Structure 1
């Protein structure tokens, strides 16, 4: 276990306190069920766009992305090539339909079109699916926080859940969106500190590093193999993941409800477009980080690849870095 220290606890505690204070402050402006579900329709499109991005960039992305590309190389980016195509389709087809019908929930339409039984059934299926997905993210986050802070997994689960529950109940959708903005800032600060440190801390010039990575096939981003057993091919990204991401961004309540909080149809579209084009570069950063780690550690095997960032941060020795990483992981989990 890493010795967390006073400075790191201070950073983590400050982040938690800031999140709760923001939730309480926004909560004072909630005066109706509509305000709770959609805010007061004054949230800027860029904040909504950041929130949508954060919803899909979980702690698993922050830790699992580099772990995956550490072994597979830049070809991992192929599964994200579909974002511009998917988001353009969502903005052109799904978004006008949901926004113009004044929906708070996509399941409202199910009831209007097919009756209450349809709405209840599909809502129940969504909640079960989301509970299972959130449980996986939450458990993975708790294990990482235990590794960093030494707090038992069970208590980590309770802490993360309670914090997210409190600010959501106090401030509704507006609190969720604005806390996501803070969470995004912390997440990306942590990621860019790590990538800058790795980039400048290589044991040889970057030109030599890139030559070595190319020789190992780690820089081959476009894998056009027709082998169906390979996951990181262009075909998997453009065909299979296009269909998957269409369901995620076009029919997932977590995404749609955020966009419905926009001031206008134009703002809702801009928020979703921001997500589609920014997310690709965010994932590229995480994937590039894994490739650089491969060069830094010379492909060394780790018992758990998801802890590569944590191992590096503890070795790097920058005061407060582990506190930022812990806050970033906590932020990524709560935003999801």
Structure 2
């Protein structure tokens, strides 16, 4: 063999060895993981309070994290007897601290410092100043005070510092942190009194950090024992308020099944459910946000047995009043008391179902279940990567000292080996195209302009494919899924720009006979201006390609389990291989393949979703219309929202910049044989934009309909809607 042939053989061997290594990396992952999203275990049980021998558990504790230790403070229980046996409710001021040890174990300690009150049923939020505890009640009064429990890691001690008082004494309220603000809703102000419609907020930064603000309340019943949680609605971080108990002035009460959301950006409440068509009963429960748009309820009472208990108690009161009047109802009274005792003793607990709520679809659904009954009148807190639900009430009058730990499994579901092979073979195909076209590179003209061999339709598909990136494929449906069609008009501005490109820019660049768009800058001005233009293009593309590479890497990471940095590296290497070896000709033909794959995949997704939903397309349209998903044109005169004016103005200038001066576009204009073919390629891109935009926007709408029909199919651990 000649030296040239040997070098070619060595080059080919290295080329395919690299590609096969990439394929092996893709397949060599845990591709068959189909586990559960949650794992469950228990931390060491809560130790006894000072002066106690055993710990029966506490309800209404002030719970949170400070300097990576779990703090459980205050709370109440019945240490001797159950309440219907004459037991007296006891409140505590002890502060328990659960510390992580060097050997990955944890250990409880009781702080020598006490809380200012023996109290419970207030709120607690972790802040930079310590765990802020606010409100609650003692054995005979409701309190408005707040205080910081500040754990000092250097000494292992606890300090108590005063915080801003609530506007009124308040207990049994819902609370949550949204961004840097704490919200408090509902509760009871007078000890043993009625529910309120209180709604307050406390900023944790700036001038407002020292006092609570009074805000307008929701449009619904007053409530106590409700659940509050902060989560995104797909656009803004909001405060969500669920369920609760409306206690009247005379002590009568009803369980609430409604839900409301307060948006700090718009400063308005919205009714999610009035409780009639869709009940969300999680009274006295706890919740935590998960992922981009999910709220998880690990506990909560539906109130059914509580309503039965209240009915029996009313009957007992009625019979006792008759007995005092001389009626012979002693037997009936005794039977009613026995029935009440049996109901309480045989209470099965507050249920073991874990529920989920999606803040975009507004669907409330059964998510999982615990092996034991859930814990109410407690607070779920995030500790590291896990969720901790300490102690709490498991049935009326009965607490548990157990500390539930929920482990979040973000790698619960991955693709199978066959799927991985398909992805690997696709990567190999793209890389092979680079190898194939590398043999046609004979000159600079071939490498940068494809030798003028590119047909107009391929150039047009390549222009379209350059604009059709992962941003289109993932971010557009995600945005439409979370919001509506407000951004639709942005893509339609291509028809305002296409004539300018076709009749002005393309003839201009073709006459110059340049290789890059920036050669003109040197001939018109000087080398410095050309280099400045080239540098600005490169910097822009670095930023854009960062997003374009990151989005599909998110998808690959989620469905394969491969580290996201490895995904970026693999895609970058494959892209560089076929680009470096094959030149613009390989790039254009791989663009053609990828356009077919992207559009085909989107269309296939639409078909699969449509056939899975009752009513098909008409059912999807009806559901989307009912949820205002087709909002298209906003005529408000505002530059802060995606109004039609913002879309038109921004779209026109963005498209002129992209199609008129971006090297990725201009280079494709120069690959066709004639100017007329280059112009046809631009019109091809413009025409394809209409169906493509409809496909990807409708994909987001159909995803909304799908996950509204099948809410438990949405991975709740996704950290963004892309």
TM-score range, shorter chain: 0.7 to 0.9
Aligned mates of 1:258, 1:139 — CA distance in 2:
25
| Residue 47 (structure 1) aligned to one of 443, 458, 462 | 458
Partner of 1:224: 635
| Residue 275 (structure 1) aligned to one of 664, 685, 695 | 685
1:306-317 equivalences under 5 Å are 306-307=721-722
1:29-178 equivalences under 5 Å are 29-178=440-589
In structure 2, relative to structure 1, the CA distance for the partners of 1:270 and 1:205 (3 Å cut) is: closer
Partner of 1:334: none
Aligned mates of 1:286, 1:166 — CA distance in 2:
29
Partner of 2:600: 189
Aligned mates of 1:205, 1:285 — CA distance in 2:
16
| Residue 291 (structure 1) aligned to one of 673, 688, 701 | 701
Contact kept? 2:487, 2:647, Cα under 8 Å: no
- TM-score norm. by structure 1 comes to 0.86
Contact kept? 2:620, 2:705, Cα under 8 Å: yes
Task: Please identify the structure whose Cα radius of gyration is greater.
Answer: 2
Partner of 1:180: 591
Q: What does the per-residue CA deviation read over 1:78-115, in whole Å, with 9 as the maximum and x for residues that have no partner?
A: 21121111111111111110011111111100000001
Task: Say which structure is richer in strand.
Answer: 2
Contact kept? 2:482, 2:721, Cα under 8 Å: no
Partner of 2:95: none
In structure 2, relative to structure 1, the CA distance for the partners of 1:245 and 1:274 (3 Å cut) is: same
SS in 2 for 1:40: helix
Deviation beyond 6 Å, 4+ runs, structure 1: none
- For structure 1, the 5+ residue unaligned runs are 308-336
How much does 1:130 deviate?
Answer: 0.9
Relative to structure 2, which stretch is displaced further, 111-120 or 207-216?
A: 207-216
SS in 2 for 1:220: coil
The answer to whether residue 418 in structure 2 is matched with residue 7 in structure 1 is: yes
- For structure 2, the 5+ residue unaligned runs are 1-410
SS in 2 for 1:224: coil
Q: What does the per-residue CA deviation read over 1:116-155, in whole Å, with 9 as the maximum and x for residues that have no partner?
A: 1111111111111111111122123222211111111221
In structure 2, relative to structure 1, the CA distance for the partners of 1:168 and 1:140 (3 Å cut) is: same
RCO greater where, 1 or 2, for CA within 8 Å and sep 6 or more? 1
Contact kept? 1:76, 1:287, Cα under 8 Å: no
How much does 1:209 deviate?
Answer: 3.5
Aligned mates of 1:132, 1:205 — CA distance in 2:
40
In structure 2, relative to structure 1, the CA distance for the partners of 1:9 and 1:305 (3 Å cut) is: same
SS in 2 for 1:39: helix
Contact kept? 1:38, 1:258, Cα under 8 Å: yes
Aligned mates of 1:225, 1:212 — CA distance in 2:
26
How much does 1:205 deviate?
Answer: 5.0
1:235-250 equivalences under 5 Å are 235-250=645-660
How much does 1:305 deviate?
Answer: 4.6
Aligned mates of 1:91, 1:234 — CA distance in 2:
25
Aligned mates of 1:304, 1:66 — CA distance in 2:
16
Aligned mates of 2:698, 2:616 — CA distance in 1:
17
How much does 1:304 deviate?
Answer: 3.9
Q: CA RMSD, aligned part only? A: 1.7
Contact kept? 1:203, 1:296, Cα under 8 Å: no
Q: What does the per-residue CA deviation read over 1:207-266, in whole Å, with 9 as the maximum and x for residues that have no partner?
A: 3432332232212323222233221x2212222211111101111000110111111001
- TM-score norm. by structure 2 comes to 0.41
SS in 2 for 1:172: helix
Aligned length: 306
Aligned mates of 1:226, 1:76 — CA distance in 2:
16
SS in 1 for 2:639: coil
Contact kept? 2:456, 2:677, Cα under 8 Å: yes
